[in-house]
Structure 1
Amino acid sequence: MAKKIRVLNAVKRKLFNKLGLRYRDNYFVDAFYKKNSRNGVLKIGEHADTNNVVLDCSDSNDEQKVYSFPKRYIYEIKDASIWTPDNLIFCSSGKLIAESTALSVYRLLWEVPLPEFKAKKYLSGQYIYLAINENYYHWLLEDLPVFITAQKLKPEAKIIAKKTQFRPALDFLEKFFPGRYALLDDDIKCESLVMAAKTGGMGAPHDHGVVHPKDVEIVRDWFADYMNPGKRGRKKVYVSRVGRRRSPEGEEKLVNRLKAEGFEIFDGSMGLFEQIEYFQDVEVLVGASGAALTNILWMAPGSKVVKLALDGERLHFFSDLAFYCDVILHNIDVPSCAWNDSIRESIELQLNSLGFWGGDSSEKL
């Protein structure tokens, strides 16, 4: 059933995009609070109070860009329903709270009726739901910060999440909340759900994916005890897609060349805390846009990232994150489908011009 609904919503999303329709802010949790009390939404705390943020641009021709963030709060939602397959939260009147999910398909479909579902379980008491979007970027920077804020405000609340094999989330729960969480595979309704506003802190509802500086700060503070750069040699690392769906043809040859130049190869197979430890000692990180670049979060200030901009894309996700973490980001434009000898040579030449190629580059950094 869930698969059919996803397919249907994908079709709707394409139609919405073609028609130029976008979502509005009246389906976010703050709007439910402002409308009336019949939705069972109560404001109980504050999540972030950042307004205008000015960023230096390393991914476009602009010198600076400004994000205008609304104030964000923490809410208690009475008789909230949770559709676990896609982490969707509904208020007591059955309306979708669009910011409960990191999936743009639902944020785009704010006015399209979603299939009704009947909760199979009713949970008495107060709960905090850890949304688990099985994408490292969205989970770490969207789902996790608001969970941390809610949990700090209501540490006595019970913790629930959907049943998953997503290793970073399981590592997180087992490290910090062993024996205190439950993984559910049923659609549920709970007497009281605590959640912090999420979408409103991402620049504006019209700009999906903007990183909120407060969320970056929250995550880094939470893991501060695990972020102690060691005295080992600084590493040059390449994020490899070899063997994966989005690996460009010919990438394996580039990997072999990078190995010969002293690069280590990261394939994403580490657990959460292994990645935190590993990337603290990365001085140069090279890779195409993808979830693995989220590990900028753990890199030391002054480290460098070279993003291989496939087909010249200039998505702001990682440049914003680098800015907040005081990491320097460069772009190298490359095609996405196939990397022949001339393209690989061009990548090598540009890495060389940045001082990251040829022998021990540590003195050039």
Structure 2
Amino acid sequence: MSTPSKTCVSFTNMITLKKIVKSFVYKNQVWLFANQITNWFVNAAKSLPLLSKYINLPKGYYASSVEYWQLCQTKNLNDVTYTKFLPPSVSQRSSPKSISGETHWKFDGRYIHSNPETFVISIANGRVIGNAGTVITHDDRFLYDVSGIESSEHHVFPYFKLPKCKQVSETVAVLATGAGGKYFHWLLDALPRLEIIKKALPKGLDSIDKYIVNRGISAIPESLEILGISSNKLLFCDSNFHIQPTSLVIPSLPGSIGDPPAWVCKFLRENFLKNKADINTPSRLYISRAKAEYRRVKNEKNVVKCLSNYGFTAVYLEEHSFTMQIALLSNAEVIVAPHGAGLSNLLWCNPGAKVLEIFSPNYVNVCFWAIANQIELEYFYLIGHGKKSVDYFDPHLVHDDINVPIDELTLILKTMLK
């Protein structure tokens, strides 16, 4: 049998390519059409007088709780109250340290940070939907600023019908927030909402019957138990969650997501450091992500070998309880870690401890630098090997694994430890 000519192969490939392109265009057109139909039904449904509590969709959203409260005041709706906790404030940070001559651009503009006002808003006939603790007002709009989200296109809007609503004859407070089932966001975004309720309301926590919390990590019930809130007072939200309590109490988020103000760190340290596990732990720690699903260190064996020369012990924090993690970090003098939730435990370090955070060149997130400044830690960072994007463009490749340059790691360790 003769071999097809290059021209024939090329022609065949062109036909195949055209089929692929045609198929892609067709599928894309179908998707766009389906999306348009969905949007039409959604908008049509919103125009109906029916409430989403029964069959319809939320009618829209309020950008801020104070906007909603002020509107209620003009209508003499006294069953909606707004109580201030702390006024806006400013955080100031010191420069991070590295072996590079220039600071990475992601730190630019972050040396002075504005923290928003914090408050509690209480609503009669309010509802909570879904696994992020989304708040729906009495007039069927969701409350944007207390729902722990970053977009007005919230996940409740694509629903054609919300989950069945359960009536609850109690006063219920919302602690759950977006990503609150993960360690970092539970500690820094969700849990401090408890302190806002405690300090802002006249009766504090005594006025609350139940708390809505995220599902996820064991640290959620464990941390609340330490604060005196037993598991029988918890309502764990999920995608089918939809309740309407007699009174709904919603504290604001404690600050910008991933950028906690000083009072949050103080609250956590004052309440949890005294409950740390009573054990002896190493003074130099390497927090490994070898058991994580993503953002692992590619050359971890070489990294661990290098660090062992300087007396570091590798730890896997997911193997330890909440109080054990507190103990490990509270006794550490030097911490090295790739960027990840384990560094949330910098909260427990003693002022003056040193930390080296290692980033992928395509995912630099400075949230732990912000925490290190609040605790007065000495913060260093190192960028892993790999193709770097141009300055001021963030590819935000959250799952990127990290290749650590051992020579640079050695150099920065010598700088840190001298």
Calculate the TM-score normalised by the size of structure 2. Answer: 0.68
In the alignment, which residue of structure 2 is the partner of 1:181?
A: 233
With over 3 angstroms needed to count, the CA separation of the structure-2 counterparts of 1:36 and 1:178, relative to structure 1, is closer
Residue of 335, 348, 351 corresponding to 2:410? 348
Quote how far apart the aligned CAs of 1:144 are. Answer: 0.8
Alignment of 1:30-69 (within 5 A): 30-37=66-73, 42-58=80-96, 60=103, 65-69=111-115
Residues 162, 178 of structure 1: CA spacing in aligned structure 2 closer, same or farther, 3 A cutoff? closer
Q: Which residue of 1 aligns with 2:188?
A: 141
- Paired AA for residue 214 in structure 1: W
CA distance in 2, matches of 1:164, 1:64: 32
Summarize the Cα distance change of 1:89–1:252 in structure 2 as closer, same or farther, 3 Å threshold: farther
SS of the residue corresponding to residue 85 of structure 1 reads coil
Contact 1:41 1:75 in 2 (8 A): no
Indicate the RMSD between aligned Cα atoms, in angstroms: 3.2
Which residue in 2 is equivalent to 1:94?
Answer: 140
Is the 2:335–2:356 contact (alpha carbons within 8 Å) kept by the matching residues of 1? yes
Kept in 2: contact 1:33–1:41 (CA 8 A): no
- How many Å apart are 1:54 and its aligned residue? 2.3
Paired with 1:337 and 1:234, the residues of 2 have a C-alpha distance of 27
- Structure 2 residue runs of 5 or longer lacking an equivalent are 1-34, 40-60, 98-102, 386-399
User: Which residue does the alignment assign to 2:328?
Assistant: 278
Q: 2:340 aligns with which of 277, 290, 294?
A: 290
What pairs with 1:1-365 in structure 2 (closer than 5 Å)?
Answer: 26-37=62-73, 42-58=80-96, 60=103, 65-104=111-150, 107=151, 109=153, 113=157, 115=159, 117-131=162-176, 133-152=180-199, 153=201, 154-156=204-206, 157-162=208-213, 164-175=215-226, 176-178=228-230, 180-184=232-236, 186-198=241-253, 201-202=255-256, 208-226=257-275, 235-244=283-292, 245-269=294-318, 270-311=320-361, 313-335=363-385, 337=401, 339=403, 343-355=405-417, 364=418
Q: 2: CA distance between counterparts of 1:253 and 1:40?
A: 64
| SS at structure 2 position matched to 1:36 | helix
| TM-score, length basis structure 1 | 0.77
Deviation at 1:276, TM superposition (A): 1.4
Looking at structure 2, the residues matched to 225 and 158 of structure 1 have their Cα atoms a distance apart, in angstroms, of 27
Q: CA deviation at 1:329?
A: 0.6
Over 3 Å counting, the alpha-carbon distance change for 1:73 and 1:300 in structure 2 is same
Unaligned runs of 5+ in 1: 1-7, 13-24, 203-207, 356-363
- The count of corresponding residues between Structure 1 and Structure 2 is 323
1:334-357, Cα deviation, whole Å (9 max, x unpaired)? 1354537xx2232223212322xx
Question: What whole-Å deviation, never above 9, does each CA across 1:153-178 have from its counterpart, x for those lacking one?
Answer: 33221123357341110212333222
CA change 1:279–1:338 in 2 (3 A) is closer
Equivalent residue letter for 1:195: I
Q: How much has 1:49 moved relative to structure 2? A: 2.1
Residue identity in the other structure for 2:197: A
Deviates more, 1:297-306 or 1:124-133: 124-133
Task: Please identify which structure carries the higher strand content.
Answer: 1
Larger mean Cα displacement after TM superposition, 161-170 or 274-283: 161-170
Question: Percent sequence identity over matched residues?
Answer: 18
State the secondary structure of the residue aligned to 2:376. Answer: coil
CA–CA distance in structure 2, aligned partners of residues 57 and 92 of structure 1 = 46
Mapped contact 1:136–1:291 kept (Cα < 8 A): yes
Paired AA for residue 286 in structure 2: Y
- Retained in 2: the 8 A contact 1:48–1:214? no
